[in-house]
């Protein structure tokens, strides 16, 4: 069988923050893909605003570099398990992976998650030990950890013989030994050329091109990005699209794009092994196959991880509805959710009995909160219910999602962490004393026990702890309630503006969420009670003026700093009888029943 020696397809996989995207930057610079005078941003692959702000990769993206005469397609994947659907599709398009591991942190939960996906697809691995310039780097121990992880995940003998390159993406250096660092990425390029298999050349056979990523362009409409698995595809060619539902539609290829650097380049033809973008199809989805009209043979649709968490999205019906957003109607929200489904394969949207509410299921809190954050930035207003895990039947047993939790904390806090994880039905698997006063504890815990845990964990460990968790599998449902909020809340009694006087009168009752002059409405949550019951409070109370001069009149009133909740914290904070109201300008928590008397009646009935 002939191979295309002028082509290599690789994916870069790693745990969050181990330097994938920065490494891709350096590979682009050192390969001479950019002109000397061309300005390129840092982390050039993280193109959307949320990725730049949070410093994480959300969407898988592709780029390509020329090294000598070889075209290397590189796919940068997300590290968070919430975007596992992205990682899984990418593995289908490549012949090998660059596994990036931090030379100090070593193997983390998502390293395990992404490597497991790569080994299942029988891909050839190359290990890049990044951040080798860190003063506390421990390359030899980390390589042993990586080897142990390969063995644990059932790698075959060929995969266990993985080559290792040592690099510092930040400094732009790499080498075959930790001490031999040169200002070049050539050791990485050479290792890719020597170890990653070249794709087979089957250009003479009938075409098979599978869509793995989707893009949209105002002039061209939907664009399908994928790999030519067999044969070749040309501009102007009449082809068939084998749909997921079994139907077939015919169309003409209007444009073909290849990739070089961060640009798309128009091309006339692509052959087996090439990763290209195709325009000309209106109704195209991930996993569908493009074939010749006279030889219709579909490729199997990639299996995507099932959602594990669901929330109800509702139209905003609070007293402030429509004041801050442009899109508030049910029709607009539904249209936006259906648009999201076109590119996000891990998302599910189901209608409910109410025309104003939808059940939206995703891979985790981060996955759903990124969608909500994007919607509010686009001008949508909506309400959200508390996130719930999704139960499903596995071999006749009702099961719930289980996660692998890795916690790194200073020794002093291990007792508190083990107790709180015990309360959340976490089972300890391992405890490693890493020296230097740090301990690593590994648990298996139900996903529902981890909802809202990060906030508690941060205060427990005074901000010194590091918590990482990733979905592992479905396990039998554990009995009893798990986790949940321990504290009650402070609820506003009436509409108006919060006053300094009203806030000062409540400070000894708990933590306040709103600042003076914030508009509030009856039933809105304005703080956390320091006991376990809810308390209705008058936060809009004005100080009555008298004509008697007070002895301490000249003292200025100062109030404690209020606690501002981010979107993720607000979603984790919710209880069953509460909604989170999200608008382009505000994130508010509220009770489902706004009227105090009705709320009390409902609570009595429930008891």
Higher pLDDT, 85 or 349: 349
Q: How far is CA 174 from the centre of its chain?
A: 29
Q: What is the pLDDT of residue 45?
A: 44
Instruction: Say how far apart CA 254 and CA 534 lie, in whole Å.
Output: 62
Query: Quick check: helix, strand or coil at residue 217?
Result: strand
- What DSSP string runs through 393-459? EETTEEEEEEEEEEEEEEGGGHHHHHHHHHHTT-EEEEEEE-STTEEEEEEEEEHHHHTTHHHHHHH
List the domains of the chain with CATH numbers.
7-195 (3.40.50.300), 208-292 (2.40.30.10), 392-476 (3.30.70.240), 489-543+560-606 (2.40.50.250)
560-586: per-residue pLDDT in tens?
778 888 888 888 888 888 899 999 998
Instruction: Say how far apart CA 283 and CA 261 lie, in whole Å.
Output: 28
Instruction: Say how far apart CA 584 and CA 469 lie, in whole Å.
Output: 30
Q: How confident is the model at residue 85 (pLDDT cuts 50, 70, 90)?
A: low
Mean pLDDT along residues 101-114: 80
Q: What is the DSSP letter of 283?
A: S
17 marked as binding residue: yes
Helices and strands: H and E segment counts in the chain: 15, 35
Closest CA to 426 of 363, 475, 366: 475
Lowest mean pLDDT segment, chosen from 16-30, 238-252, 429-443, 494-508: 16-30
Beta bridge partners of 472: none
Tell me if 10 sits within 8 A of 95, measured CB to CB. Answer: yes
Give me the phi and psi of 307, to 5 degrees please.
Answer: -65, 155
Closest CA to 314 of 590, 584, 579: 579
133 marked as binding residue: yes
Q: How confident is the model at residue 453 (pLDDT cuts 50, 70, 90)?
A: confident
Lowest mean pLDDT segment, chosen from 116-120, 204-208, 261-265, 505-509: 261-265
On the question of pLDDT at 438 being above 90, the answer is no
Instruction: Say how far apart CA 130 and CA 106 lie, in whole Å.
Output: 10
CA-angle at 271, arms to 268 and 272, nearest 5°? 160
On the question of pLDDT at 551 being above 70, the answer is no
Residues 6 or more apart whose CB falls under 8 angstroms from that of 196 comprise 8, 9, 10, 95, 96, 124, 126
Query: What is the pTM assigned to this prediction?
Result: 0.71
Beta bridge partners of 164: 127
Mean pLDDT along residues 375-381: 89
Tell me the CA distances in angstroms from 265 to 77, 180, 258, 262, 504, one per residue in order: 22, 37, 5, 10, 62
Q: What is the DSSP letter of 578?
A: E
On the question of pLDDT at 61 being above 80, the answer is no
Mean pLDDT along residues 44-70: 56
Residue carrying structure tokens 């909160």: 369
Instruction: Say how far apart CA 446 and CA 473 lie, in whole Å.
Output: 10
Mean pLDDT along residues 105-114: 77
21 marked as binding residue: yes
Instruction: Say how far apart CA 598 and CA 362 lie, in whole Å.
Output: 33
Instruction: Say how far apart CA 194 and CA 68 lie, in whole Å.
Output: 14
42 marked as binding residue: no
Half-sphere exposure of 40 (CA within 13 A, CB side): 23
131 marked as binding residue: yes
Q: What is the pLDDT of residue 359?
A: 93
Lowest mean pLDDT segment, chosen from 39-43, 176-180, 363-367, 528-532: 39-43
Instruction: Say how far apart CA 15 and CA 468 lie, in whole Å.
Output: 10
Residues 6 or more apart whose CB falls under 8 angstroms from that of 13 comprise 20, 77, 79, 87, 97, 98, 99, 100, 114, 115, 117, 118
193-217: per-residue pLDDT in tens?
888 888 888 888 888 888 887 776 6
Helix (H) or strand (E) holding 164: strand 164-168
Q: How confident is the model at residue 305 (pLDDT cuts 50, 70, 90)?
A: low
Residue 272 gets the label, from left (phi > 0), alpha (psi -120 to 50) or beta, of beta
22 marked as binding residue: yes
Give me the phi and psi of 501, to 5 degrees please.
Answer: -65, -45
On the question of pLDDT at 259 being above 70, the answer is yes
Mean pLDDT along residues 4-10: 86
Instruction: Say how far apart CA 418 and CA 426 lie, in whole Å.
Output: 9
Give me the phi and psi of 605, to 5 degrees please.
Answer: -60, -45
Q: What is the DSSP letter of 509?
A: G
On the question of pLDDT at 469 being above 70, the answer is yes
Mean pLDDT along residues 486-490: 84
Tell me if 200 sits within 8 A of 273, measured CB to CB. Answer: yes
Mean pLDDT along residues 325-348: 84
Q: How far is CA 255 from the centre of its chain?
A: 32
Residue carrying structure tokens 């904070």: 573
Helix (H) or strand (E) holding 600: helix 596-606
Burial 450-487 (b: 16+ CB within 10 A, else e): bbbbeebbeebbeeebebbbbbbebeeebeeebbebeb
Tell me if 589 sits within 8 A of 565, measured CB to CB. Answer: yes
On the question of pLDDT at 380 being above 70, the answer is yes
């Amino acid at each position: 069988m002939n191979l295309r020696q002028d082509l290599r397809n690789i994916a870069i996989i790693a745990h969050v923050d181990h330097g994938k995207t920065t490494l891709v930057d350096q590979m682009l610079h050192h390969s001479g893909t950019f002109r000397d005078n061309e300005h390129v941003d840092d982390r050039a692959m993280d193109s959307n605003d949320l990725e730049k702000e949070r410093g994480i990769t959300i969407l898988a993206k592709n780029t390509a570099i020329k090294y000598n005469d070889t075209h290397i397609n590189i796919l940068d994947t997300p590290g968070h398990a919430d975007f596992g659907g992205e990682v899984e599709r990418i593995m289908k398009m490549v012949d090998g992976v660059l596994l990036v591991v931090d030379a100090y942190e070593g193997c983390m939960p998502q390293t395990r998650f992404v490597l497991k996906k790569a080994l299942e697809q029988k891909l050839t691995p190359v290990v890049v030990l990044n951040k080798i310039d860190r003063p506390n780097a421990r390359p030899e121990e980390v390589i042993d950890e990586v080897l142990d992880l390969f063995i644990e995940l059932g790698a075959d003998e060929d995969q266990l013989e993985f080559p290792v390159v040592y690099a510092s993406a930040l400094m732009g250096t790499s080498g075959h030994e930790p001490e031999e660092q040169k200002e070049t990425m050539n050791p990485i390029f050479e290792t890719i050329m020597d170890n990653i298999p070249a794709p087979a050349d089957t250009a003479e056979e009938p075409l098979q091109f599978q869509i793995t990523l989707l893009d949209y362009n105002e002039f061209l409409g939907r664009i399908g990005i994928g790999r030519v698995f067999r044969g070749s595809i040309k501009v102007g060619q009449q082809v068939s699209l084998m749909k997921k539902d079994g139907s077939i539609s015919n169309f003409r290829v209007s444009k073909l794009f290849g990739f070089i650097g961060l640009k798309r380049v128009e091309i006339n033809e692509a052959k087996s092994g090439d990763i290209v973008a195709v325009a000309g199809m209106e109704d195209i989805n991930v996993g569908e196959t493009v074939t010749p009209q006279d030889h219709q043979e579909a490729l199997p649709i990639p299996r995507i991880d099932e959602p594990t968490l669901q929330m109800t999205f509702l139209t905003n019906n609070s007293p402030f509805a429509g004041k801050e957003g442009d899109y508030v109607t049910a029709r607009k929200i539904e249209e936006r959710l259906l648009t999201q489904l076109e590119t996000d394969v891990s998302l599910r949207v189901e209608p409910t009995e109410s025309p104003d509410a939808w059940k939206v299921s995703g891979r985790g809190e981060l996955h759903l909160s990124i969608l909500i954050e994007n919607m509010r930035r686009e001008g949508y207003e909506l309400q959200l219910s508390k996130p719930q895990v999704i139960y499903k039947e596995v071999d006749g047993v009702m099961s719930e999602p289980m996660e692998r939790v890795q916690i790194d904390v200073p020794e002093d806090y291990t007792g508190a962490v083990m107790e709180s994880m015990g309360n959340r039905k976490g089972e300890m698997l391992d405890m490693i004393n890493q020296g230097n006063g740090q301990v690593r504890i590994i648990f298996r815990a139900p996903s529902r026990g981890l909802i809202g845990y990060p906030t508690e964990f941060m205060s427990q460990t005074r901000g010194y702890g590091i918590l990482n968790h990733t979905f592992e599998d479905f396990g039998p449902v554990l009995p009893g309630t798990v986790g949940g909020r321990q504290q009650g809340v402070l609820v506003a009694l009436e509409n108006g503006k919060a006053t300094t006087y009203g806030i000062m009168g409540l400070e000894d009752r708990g933590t306040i969420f709103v600042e003076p002059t914030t508009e509030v409405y009856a039933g809105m949550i304005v703080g956390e009670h320091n006991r376990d019951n809810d308390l209705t409070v008058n936060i809009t109370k004005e100080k009555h003026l008298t004509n008697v001069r007070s002895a301490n009149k000249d003292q200025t009133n100062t109030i404690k700093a209020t606690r501002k909740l981010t979107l993720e914290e607000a979603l984790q904070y919710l209880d069953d009888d509460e909604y989170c109201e999200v608008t382009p300008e505000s994130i508010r928590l509220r009770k489902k029943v706004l009227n105090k008397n009705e709320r009390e009646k409902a609570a009595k009935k429930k008891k």
